[in-house]
Each structure stands twice: as C-alpha cells, then as structure tokens.
Structure 1
Amino acid sequence: MASPGWVDDLLNDQARNICQCANLTDGSWMWPSELAYYVETYHVELPADFLDHMASHGWITPEVGDEVLERLDEELAKRYGFDSEED
C-alpha cells in the first residue's frame, strides 16, 4: 500500500525524503517502508518474532492478494479512526 508522499526521518529533522510512504506486508506482519532505513541508520532492533518469521521464509515477502490488502486497510482505518471506504 503506497502513497505519493515522502517520509522524513523522525529522529533527524535535517534528513528529508528518506523514502516514499508505504506499508509493506507479507500477510502476517506489516511494517513501514522506512523500517530498513532506521535499522541501517540507527541500528533499531526488530522484534525477535518478526526476525524469526522473516528468516523462516527466506527473507522473501510474497505477493499478497487484494483480500489481504483490504483486510489490512480496514484494520488501519479502525486503528487510526478514518473510514477506509472514503476517497
């Protein structure tokens, strides 16, 4: 799920446009597109469950279907208080 917007570094106000805004998923986990940047730049530790899950799948994220993306869209809409059906 991508957006035409760009993400700035939340920890360094001098770092702009570090990547395009998107949510990535393998159908089980969802993470922001800038996660790799924070791991590389700030050595952010990731949850062991996430690392184990990704390693068990060979660090490959499968393509997910529309049904999964729609479910995630609904979950995000509920979490952040907006209607996922609105355009």
Structure 2
Amino acid sequence: MLPLAEEIKAQGQEKFEQVSIAQLAGRLDPSLRKPLANYLSEAHSLLATGNIQDPMAPQRGLVVPFGYCTDGEWTWPSYWGYFVREYGVQLPANFIEHARERKFTPSSLSDEELFRAEEEFEEQFFG
C-alpha cells in the first residue's frame, strides 16, 4: 500500500505509514508526472467517496478525488494521481518501478481478482 498523506485525515489512517505531500512536492522526475498520474488515476476503484479540498491550495475547492484504487498488487488513496500531476509529488521508488514495469498501464482485473482485492482492502481498513 502506498503511504497516506498526513495532510488528509481519514478514518483508520493511524494504522498506516504517512508522508507529507508538502515535503514530497516537486521531487518527482518531471518526465514521470503524466504517465505516473495516469497510472494512479486509471486503476480500478475500490471505494470512491467524492472530492475533497486540496490541502496545498484550499482556494481551488473540492478538486481532489478521495477513495482508494488498486492494480491488483498495490492499493493507494485515489488522491495520489492528483498530487503527482499537480505538484510532482515523489512516490516510493519501488512503486514507480512497479508502474514502469507495466508501461504505466494499469492491469485489467477479472471480477474474481477485483473481489479478492476488495476483500483485502476491507480487511486492512476495517478488519
């Protein structure tokens, strides 16, 4: 699972690793912004709750997607696609390599694989 953002509070967040968006902004190789943001944003949705305020630019309003996504191996808050695209937020190297190995194209998951991912997600967060 990708870390959660310290700046965005969510139920159960204390169970998981957290990082600061502000501290990681601008650290991503610019050539990775678009393909990595697309990978993060186009993966399967496990949970979508709507949009929240951008903690880096509150004046933008409710523009940050909030929910959780998966590619069948990794799970992440859906806001990572937004923060990578808008601010060049650096993600863990092993996740970037994972996305690169897949040519920045999220996997197509069967119904069974998606169901299994949903069960694992629910166990992690609500179990």
The two structures have a TM-score, normalised by structure 2, of 0.52
> Which runs of 5 or more structure 2 residues have no equivalent in the other structure?
1-44
Q: 1:64 aligns with which of 95, 100, 109?
A: 109
> Which runs of 5 or more structure 1 residues have no equivalent in the other structure?
83-87
Offset, 1:48:
0.7
CA distance in 2, matches of 1:60, 1:7: 26
Query: How many residue pairs were aligned?
Result: 82
> 1:74 — aligned with what?
119
Deviations 1:39-84 (A, max 9, x none): 13332111111111111111111211122221222222222226xx
Offset, 1:22:
4.0
CA distance in 1, matches of 2:53, 2:100: 28
The two structures have a TM-score, normalised by structure 1, of 0.69
> 1:24 — aligned with what?
69
Q: Percent identity?
A: 30
- What is the letter of the counterpart of residue 81 of structure 2? A
Q: Is the 8 A contact 1:6 1:19 kept in 2?
A: yes
CA distance in 2, matches of 1:68, 1:11: 35
- What is the letter of the counterpart of residue 26 of structure 1? D
> 1:7 — aligned with what?
52
Is the alpha carbon distance of 1:73 and 1:46 closer, same or farther for their aligned partners in structure 2, counting shifts above 3 Å?
A: same
Q: What pairs with 1:36-55 in structure 2 (closer than 5 Å)?
A: 36-55=81-100
CA distance in 2, matches of 1:80, 1:19: 21
* Structure of higher RCO (CA pairs closer than 8 Å, 6+ residues apart): 2
C-alpha RMSD of matched pairs (Å): 2.3
